[in-house]
Structure 1
Amino acid sequence: MTNAATDLSQTLGFSGSYPAHEVRFLLNILQMQPTNIEEKEQLIQSGKKHYSSMLSAEHPPSATHLQHYDLAMQLGAARMAKEVQQLGNRLLELYAPEPIVLVSLVRAGVPLGVLLRDYLAAQVPCYHYGVSIIRDRGIDHAALDQIIRLHGAKNIVFVDGWTGKGAITRELSRSLQDYPELWDTQSGLPRLLVLSDLAGCAWLAASQDDWLIPSGVLGSIISGLISRSVLPEHAQQGTWHGCIQYHTLTEHDLSNSFIQQIRSHIQQQPEQQSCLWGNTQRQQQQQQSQQTIDWLMQHYRVEQVNHIKPSIAEATRAVLRRVPERILLKDADHPSTQLLRHFAEQQQVAIDVLGEQLGPYQAVTLIKTMPKDCS
């Protein structure tokens, strides 16, 4: 890559509350009025608006919420540091000494992407971008094409935090049909990397465990103070997707503190092993995930698969951003679901404890079916 392209990669887009070299968000910064959660749910389920055209307000975390984040760090910071290194080591085996281009899927992929960039950049040139992908709308092709023009497609790796039931992975696959150079020929999958592949559909994963990923229990304040990505209803084709910046939450921002804490664990506990995520393991996980989702749809008479939000992280986010009907837990008092149980009590949401019937998941949130709009 030319020096001019290198310089451009550092100025393209913006970096949120992260240092400029750690990530470049290829998103348009928008001004939007928040939509009430119940109103948003009604609009989504009635088909009047797509979820990606609306945002609900994000509020400062409560003291209890932060206590649960601290617990997540106590339980999982060392594990996350180890798995970041294992994922990074595998990428180095595959690509070093060539540059690596990380494309994090906004927002859940961003904290992992920042940590990976930091780890890889000590050994090879590494570039990190945050781009939008939206269910039913696809990846932001304008942003992706910009990255390919700068770096080529050979060493691009997509980054997300986890897979739940595989919806975003399938969206990525659909979006990349015309980009064969972004697919792994051995697995037949797009090059998507995650910490936990619960759905059994990622190219590379550190595990298939539903564990309390610390970056999964907070929103913008652990993701550079940006919202999830937005695609306005009348967005001009060929322009980047958008987001809003939560400047009002600056005093609560933990984005860089989180990175520093995991980085400290990495420095104290260097890891030489790398991740191997094979087709047999992936297929077994996918079968277990799909059987669980199918059973849940039948048992709870769920008509829309998108109303099932599996994994601790997805279940927790759904309680904060959607209208939950019921929370399903594998164990009644597992320490990793304390925050979810707190929200359930706070919002008076029913809990079912299902044991092994929940398959690979520790937790699932079911979204409430809203009354039909008769107007």
Structure 2
Amino acid sequence: MNQHKQEQLLAFPLPHPEPLGSYNPSDVIFLLKDLSNVNLERGTEEREEAIQTGTHYSEMLPVEYQPTPEYIQLFHETLAESAEKVALAAGVVSELILHKRGKNLVLASLARAGTPIGILMKRYLMQQYGLDVPHYSISIIRGKGIDENALKYIFQQHGADQQLQFVDGWTGKGAIRQVLIQACDQFEKDYGIRLNDDLAVLADPGFCSDTYGTREDFLIPSACLNSTVSGLMSRTVLRDDLIDEHDFHGAKFYKEWLDSDLSNVFVDQVCSYFPAIAEQAKQQAQELLDSPVAISWQGLADIRSIQDQYGIEDINLVKPGVGETTRVLLRRVPWKILVDREDNPNLRHILLLAQDRGVPVEVYPNLTYSCCGIIKPRQGESE
């Protein structure tokens, strides 16, 4: 990095991070501007119409889905059933990043699905190796890129020699990975620092990450809910009238839901299994290092065939995988849900949500993923 660019980077005036979210600050620092007092929510139908007619999704927020008691019960049952499995995947991916990046590490989780996964990794590295790695949650937005001010803040705090590891919850089509690749290229052009665009994820059913805990498309309990399992934080927001050149991207902190928050319940329960899975995690990570399975973007090929079969012009209306399908049912206008088979145990909450919203479910054999959510196109685009 040349001297002028380094001085530019380190001298850029940035805000001090505001205390946000329901996690302990020792678990994560949110590099986000607090927009809690701004009315950003729009109803599902209104928001869907706006998105499909050109308004960027990051300029508004969905009304947060308030789960029924039955759905909350399903979350707890799913967590009880899968906490050890999630812990193992978190352990495997933590072992991989430690091997690949070394101990001079900073975690940058992508808000908001990446945040609880980043906390799991941070806690695993502390429990198993006594490593207290810094962990920040930052914004990345499809069509707009990564929050460069957040990256500048991290470098101002830790220097340019740290190994920055980006973290997310899971992969769908791999769209965010592609945004990250572009963002890292741009950051190098602007500041002379080459960031590693490898995206560490708990689950990579789309076959688009080199660093993952599993490629099984199973239900990660943190995908079941919205803010109440993500530190009570909203999705991130980027709008010119709210965010200026010295600000981080924005988000809301839903303090009013503290009584129903399950964010720490999730991470605490998963972390309780770390001692039991540590040896298996090390073994599986070593196997992945010895015999890596190449990125094939296999999931994207699936999506192309679904597009063709159902006559869907916009690929962004097809949301593959358990996590993305859950999001479709929670905050978009679903058209139909495709499943690999009806008796897939990973899909109980999907079928419950689909029934609740009156969304048809179709079996689509030989799907790479467990399921796929299709957003309803605007009238006239597709029947």
* Paired position in structure 1 for 2:110: 105
Aligned-residue offset at 1:283: 3.0
1:230 corresponds to which residue?
237
Displacement of 1:270: 2.8
Deviation, structure 1 residue 212: 1.0
Deviations 1:124-166 (A, max 9, x none): 2300000000100001001111102211343110000011001
What is the alpha-carbon distance in structure 2 between the residues aligned to residue 60 and residue 368 of structure 1?
22
Alignment check: 8 A CA contact 1:85 1:274 kept? no
- Amino acid of the structure 2 residue aligned with 1:256: N
Task: Find the partner of 2:198 among 191, 196, 201.
Answer: 191
What amino acid sits opposite 1:290 in the alignment? L
Among residues 325, 333, 340, which one is paired with 1:323 in the alignment?
333
Q: C-alpha distance in 2, partners of 1:320/1:336?
A: 17
User: Which structure 1 residue ranges, 5 or more long, are not aligned?
Assistant: 1-10, 185-189
Pair 1:366 & 2:374 matched? yes
| 3-state SS of paired residue (1:74) | helix
Q: What is residue 28 of structure 2 aligned with on the other side? A: 23
Opposite residue 37 of structure 1, the aligned amino acid is: T
State percent identity of aligned pairs.
35
Residue 281 of structure 1 is matched in structure 2 by 293
Measure how far apart 1:93 and its partner are. 2.5
Q: Which runs of 5+ in 2 are unaligned?
A: 1-15
RMSD: 2.1
**CA distance 1:300–1:372, change in 2 (3 Å):** closer
**Most deviating of 233-242 and 259-268:** 233-242
- Provide closer, same or farther for how the CA distance between residues 56 and 202 of structure 1 changes in structure 2, counting only shifts above 3 A: same
Query: Contact 2:108 / 2:136 at 8 angstroms: preserved in 1?
Result: yes
The 3 A distance-change label for structure 1 pair 73 and 171 is same
Contact 2:321 2:370 in 1 (8 A): yes
Distance 1:240 1:279 in 2: 40
CA gap 1:236/1:90 in 2 versus in 1, 3 angstroms? same
**Equivalent pair of 1:60/1:249 in contact (CA under 8 Å):** no
Q: What residue is the counterpart of 2:5 in the other structure? A: none
**Which residue identity lines up with residue 107 of structure 1 in the other structure?**
R
Letter in 2 for 1:204: T
Deviates more, 1:200-209 or 1:107-116: 200-209
Number of residue pairs aligned between Structure 1 and Structure 2: 353
- SS of the residue corresponding to residue 178 of structure 1 reads helix
Distance 1:232 1:331, change over 3 A: same
The residue number in structure 2 matching 1:3 is none
SS at match of 1:124: coil
| CA distance in structure 1 between the partners assigned to 2:373 and 2:240 by the alignment | 28
* Deviation of 1:363 (Å): 0.7
2:93 match: 87
**What pairs up with 1:39-54 in 2 under 5 angstroms?**
39-47=46-54, 49-54=55-60
Higher mean C-alpha displacement, 132-141 vs 266-275: 266-275
Cα distance in structure 1, aligned partners of 2:291 and 2:44:
40
Q: Could you tell me whether the CA contact under 8 Å between 2:88 and 2:213 is conserved in 1?
A: no
SS of corresponding position for 2:61: coil
Q: Cα offset for 1:351? A: 1.1
